Amino acid sequence: MAGKATREAYGDALVELGAVYEELVVLDADLSKSTMTAKFQKAYPERFFNIGIAEQNLMGIAAGMAAAGKIPFASTFAIFATGRAWEQVRNTIAYPAHNVKIAASHAGITVGPDGASHQALEDIALMRVIPGMTVLVPADAWETRQVVEAAIKHKGPVYIRLGRPAVPDIYDETYRFRIGEASLLCDGDDVAIVAAGYMVHVALSARDILAREGVSARVINMCSVKPLDSSVLLRAALECKAVVTAEEHSIIGGLGSAVAEFLAERCPVPVRRVGVRDLFGQSGEPGELLQAYGLTPEDIVEEALEAIRAR
Amino acid sequence: MDSQELASIASRVRRHIIRAIHQAGSGHPGGSLSCADILVALYFSAMRIRPDEPDWEDRDRLVLSKGHACPALYAVLAERGFFPVEELDSLRKLGSMLQGHPDMKRTPGVEASTGSLGQGLSQAVGMALALKLDRRPARVYVLLGDGELQEGQVWEAAMAAAHYRLDNLTAIVDFNGLQIDGRIEHVMSPLPLVDKWQAFNWAVHQCDGHNMDALIGALSWVGKVTGAPSVIIARTVKGRGVSFMENVADWHGKAPDAEKTKVALSELGGAGVGR
Ligand SMILES: Cc1ncc(C[n+]2csc(CCOP(=O)(O)OP(=O)(O)O)c2C)c(N)n1
Ligand SMILES: [Mg+2]
């Protein structure tokens, strides 16, 4: 399995883009070796700030630096960035529309052995509900690199969801990402699988299984969870008439919810959500957890067939 | 500007506060009156600012961490020329640039959106760090409530400010001894203040928060502190200047009616309810 973790690609992107964007500063809360911001610290020690184990302060300081013209990236684990410091993000970063990028690693069930306390399964929901917050969930290293630069160029708060384990490469250096635009990975007209993050390559495996069964599945990478790519979604619903979402996040409030909300209003078709079904995670290896929580290619296939039957 | 002139501006500011809160029908007079002198000393003496160029990059900044006292900040900003004094009549009204708690997107001169207590010092630390990084000469001030010090985030930020040796950062504690539910030491004591800030490696100065000479002295002291952030513990009286509001926790967050407004304004040396 070639490819690297999105968090590692994030650290690399910071180092690369730190040379281009002088206003870029990076803040961490004693997790720089895990979030990979340590790479940036090594390259630009004067522009790196360890805030210690104080996530609320992390967000406030990032806001203040943005107010004084910097482009701060604030990193910690997703559960602490979005959970511990939610109100700081809401009131002190998003309400004044500060140019802060919250890049949080260790999101989702694939955190693995650290268990439920460290597996953020609610972070997309928590960030998506905040007015003006952009929510991006890159699927591989190449997309992460693109997402980091898109976030720098976008004026306003952005949440970037990063994972712990290595993920296979889906794209290459020619890939270009734009906020609000989905990427169509393969065409098909029986069912559309809309996935984000780690689950994108799982969706591609599901598509292969479906193809063997004579079902043609469209696979859409909805990295831009907010704003959603409504035209790609609408076309998928009109042409495939059945939609499955896939994410390593709670089925409540995440990508699945966003897609279901949109389609319920604009083009009601059967929708099935693959995700964690209103549960906390637990310790285990990522592969075991994906299996235990219904996040495998087979789970997507099952829901896809369900959605097709329901239309 | 001498201290007598400053004191007379402060009286005008207090009248604005009472009038605006009365007209709005809600707001926080107690904590606004207690910090009026501090804000006047800052904006009319200590701070290097350009009211006609509110985004001037080298300006000094004030973060009103105790955001509920914004009627005082709005009055001072208006008196200082950031916007017309008439705007004060729109406090808390639909579409107003003067929101119930500070909104930096709407109000010229407001440096931070606050209202949720405990978050201002962190923002001030961020500003001070960025200004140092850019080698700008500006200073960042942040005004905190004494009850607000109960928020844990304040101490996270205090630790960070000293860690990064932010001698371009000055906190001022409005030490009025009261919060909503009563005396701070009864609700949840943040005392002793001096020892706490010292233990966090801040340079500490105490002064009378209603004496202009003392305030100006304190604000010039901060310029001499190097290698550490500075804090001024300003002893104040909540509701200062209006006899029936002084030291009464109940006047934390309610508007005076027409009768009480008249009494308050006359005590503050103003003629009628009008400006
Ligand atoms: C996080 C948060 N919790 C609660 C409140 C509600 N609140 C507004 S003012 C106040 C009391 C503040 O007391 P103090 O800091 O002493 O301010 P002052 O006496 O100067 O008005 C409280 C609890 C708030 N605004 N923010
Ligand atoms: Mg108080």
- DSSP H or E segment with residue B63: strand B61-64
- Does one domain contain both A264 and A147? no
Q: How far out from the chain centre does Cα A132 lie?
A: 17
Domain count, chain A: 2
Instruction: Inspect the interface and report whether the beta carbons of B133 and A92 lie closer than 8 Å.
Output: no
Residue A168 lies in a domain: no
- Does one domain contain both A14 and A145? yes
The whole-angstrom separation of Cα A67 and Cα B70 is 19
Q: Nearest by CB to A95, which of B113, B123, B156?
A: B113
Q: Which of A161, A191, A219 is the last residue of a domain?
A: A161
Q: What is the CATH number of the domain that holds A194?
A: 3.40.50.920
Instruction: Inspect the interface and report whether the beta carbons of A92 and B130 lie closer than 8 Å.
Output: no
Residue A193 lies in a domain: yes
For B208, the 3-state DSSP assignment is strand
Q: What is the CATH number of the domain that holds A136?
A: 3.40.50.970
Domains by residue range for chain B, with CATH: 3-267 (3.40.50.970)
Residue A177 lies in a domain: no
- Does one domain contain both A140 and A189? no
**Which residues does chain A have within 8 Å of residue B131's beta carbon, measured at their own beta carbons?**
68
For residue B271, what pLDDT band results from cuts at 50, 70 and 90?
Answer: low
What digits encode the pLDDT tens for the residues B122-139?
999 999 999 999 999 999
What digits encode the pLDDT tens for the residues A261-298?
999 999 999 999 999 999 999 999 999 999 999 999 99
- Does one domain contain both A189 and A266? yes
What is the rounded average pLDDT of the residues A201-217?
98
Per-residue pLDDT, B1: 87
For residue B153, what pLDDT band results from cuts at 50, 70 and 90?
Answer: very high
Whether residue B188 lies within 8 A of chain A, CB to CB, comes out as: no
- Does one domain contain both A217 and A263? yes
- Does one domain contain both A117 and A264? no
**Which residues does chain B have within 8 Å of residue A67's beta carbon, measured at their own beta carbons?**
104, 111-112, 123, 126-127, 130
- Does one domain contain both A148 and A191? no
Return the structure tokens found at B29. 């007079």
Per-residue pLDDT, B270: 72
The whole-angstrom separation of Cα B32 and Cα B69 is 4
**Is residue B155 scored above 80 in pLDDT?**
yes
- Does one domain contain both A132 and A188? no
Whether residue B159 lies within 8 A of chain A, CB to CB, comes out as: yes
Selection from B70, B71, B67, B51 nearest residue B59 by Cα: B51
Return the structure tokens found at A75. 């990193």
Interface test with A, best of B101, B104, B119, B151 (most A CBs within 10 A): B119
Per-residue pLDDT, B180: 96
- Does one domain contain both A222 and A110? no
Residue A199 lies in a domain: yes
Residue A156 lies in a domain: yes
Instruction: Inspect the interface and report whether the beta carbons of B160 and A57 lie closer than 8 Å.
Output: yes
Show the domain range for A133. 6-161
- Does one domain contain both A137 and A68? yes
Whether residue A107 lies within 8 A of chain B, CB to CB, comes out as: no
Which residues are within 5 Å of ligand 2 (an ion), measured at CB? B 145-147, 176, 178
Per-residue pLDDT, A206: 98
Interface test with A, best of B55, B113, B114, B123 (most A CBs within 10 A): B123
Per-residue pLDDT, B272: 53
Residue A176 lies in a domain: no
Residue A235 lies in a domain: yes
Catalytic residue among A55, A143, A247, A248: A55
**Is residue B273 scored above 70 in pLDDT?**
no
Name the residue of chain B whose CA is nearest to A65's CA.
Answer: B126
The residue contributing the CA closest to ligand 1 atom 18 is B31
Q: Which of A161, A195, A227 is the last residue of a domain?
A: A161
Instruction: Inspect the interface and report whether the beta carbons of B126 and A88 lie closer than 8 Å.
Output: no
For B203, the 3-state DSSP assignment is strand
What digits encode the pLDDT tens for the residues B14-37?
999 999 999 999 999 999 999 999
Please name the residues in contact with B128: beta carbons below 8 A apart, sequence gap of 6 or more: A64, B140, B161, B164, B166, B168, B169, B229
Q: Which of A131, A161, A191 is the last residue of a domain?
A: A161
- What ipTM does this complex have? 0.92
- Does one domain contain both A102 and A201? no
For residue A1, what pLDDT band results from cuts at 50, 70 and 90?
Answer: low
Kindly state the percentage of chain A with pLDDT values over 70: 100
**Which residues does chain B have within 8 Å of residue A59's beta carbon, measured at their own beta carbons?**
122
Residue A167 lies in a domain: no
What is the rounded average pLDDT of the residues A39-61?
98
A22 is catalytic: no
Per-residue pLDDT, B224: 98
Per-residue pLDDT, A2: 73
Say if residues A220 and A245 touch (Cβ distance below 8 Å): no
Say if residues A202 and A191 touch (Cβ distance below 8 Å): no
Whether residue A47 lies within 8 A of chain B, CB to CB, comes out as: yes
Whether residue A63 lies within 8 A of chain B, CB to CB, comes out as: yes
**Is residue B274 scored above 60 in pLDDT?**
no
What digits encode the pLDDT tens for the residues B71-107?
999 999 999 999 999 999 999 999 999 999 999 999 9
Rounded to a whole number of angstroms, the distance from the CA of B119 to the nearest CA of chain A is 6
- Does one domain contain both A203 and A123? no
DSSP line for B112-174: S---STT-HHHHHHHHHHHHHHTT----EEEEEETGGGGSHHHHHHHHHHHHTT-TTEEEEEE
